[in-house]
Amino acid sequence: MSPIDLVRQREGEAGTDVPTFLMCSPELYEVNYIINPWMEGNVRRSSTREAAAQRERLYSAISQFARIELVEPQPGSPDMVFTANAGLVRRGVVALSRFSHAERQGEEPHFGKWFGDSGFVVRQTPQATPFEGEGDALFEWDGSRLWAGHGVRTRQCTHQWLREIWGVEVISLRLVDPRFYHLDTCFCPLFGGYAMYFPKAFDAESLTKIETRYPADKRIPVGDSDALRFACNSVNVGRVIVLNEISVELSGRLEALGFCVVQVPLTEFLKAGGAAKCLVLRLSEMDVTHAAGGVFFNATGNSV
């Protein structure tokens, strides 16, 4: 049986009919090396107790509307808590990450084993090329296209591999600011065809691609201070957006569009360059993930 038949045969096998995410307990989380600008000055400066409390609040916020699977943390892999970097999932197949930095490469076999044991078809990057999973690859809310980042961690040549795995349109976006080193730190497709993004994190050509695909009334550009609070690093399930604390102005804009904004302080994880979305990997299909979208209520209490 050819690999593609195998994929087809197993498509959906690892699927779920409720929004489902993968998380990792933060008990071994700490900042003990520097692989992005956020980690500078923060080595051994995170509080294990505070990180556990913040992650618990995130876990309980997300479990209100989604199921959460857990992967065991591993000694020597403190960034494993950022499960968004494990890989990218669609139709029972995972494109497994190949980390750019040696510091994180030890996570690969643990994530690979978890996916294999959980019934996913595991695809490895050709020639061990850097690809950092959902950190750098985000499906449009309806699954119609894949937005893929490159320029800092993920190599652009892996985008073709992603296109071949799922036969989906892939739009490459170049990241130009080392503080926004993963696409999910500066770009977030949202339920209903909106997108929250930090324009300065992209080169001009990439910005044009975003602004061509999203009409002006669907674009939610964020300013420097919200971008630096990782506002774009949001977990979106239907009308709900879970994210680190943001400005009243931005939460007001999102609520006016009918979103229910749930803010969870995640300062301990910002010290490693991550927030809500980095701590979570989507396992359910996009339609399942957003299926509950219609049942939520906007700020005025009217159903939307």
Binding site for ligand ARG (CB under 6 A): 35-36, 79, 82, 84-85, 104, 135, 182, 184-185, 272-274, 278
**In the complex, minimum distance from the CB of residue 282 to ligand ARG, in angstroms, rounded to a whole number:** 12
**In the complex, minimum distance from the CB of residue 79 to ligand ARG, in angstroms, rounded to a whole number:** 4
Side-chain half-sphere of 46: how many Cα atoms within 13 Å? 29
**In the complex, minimum distance from the CB of residue 134 to ligand ARG, in angstroms, rounded to a whole number:** 7
Nearer residue to ligand ARG within complex by CB, 79 or 268: 79
Nearer residue to ligand ARG within complex by CB, 152 or 210: 152
Q: How does 56-79 read in b/e, with b if 16+ C-beta sit within 10 Å?
A: eebbebbeebbebeebebeeebbb
Contact between 23 and 69 (Cβ < 8 Å): yes
**In the complex, minimum distance from the CB of residue 275 to ligand ARG, in angstroms, rounded to a whole number:** 8
Those residues with Cβ within 8 angstroms of residue 49's Cβ, 6 or more apart along the chain or in another chain: none
- Stated length of the chain: 304
Place of tokens 């993004």: 197
Those residues with Cβ within 8 angstroms of residue 1's Cβ, 6 or more apart along the chain or in another chain: 9
Nearer residue to ligand ARG within complex by CB, 175 or 257: 175
Active-site annotation, residues: 182, 278
Nearer residue to ligand ARG within complex by CB, 35 or 304: 35
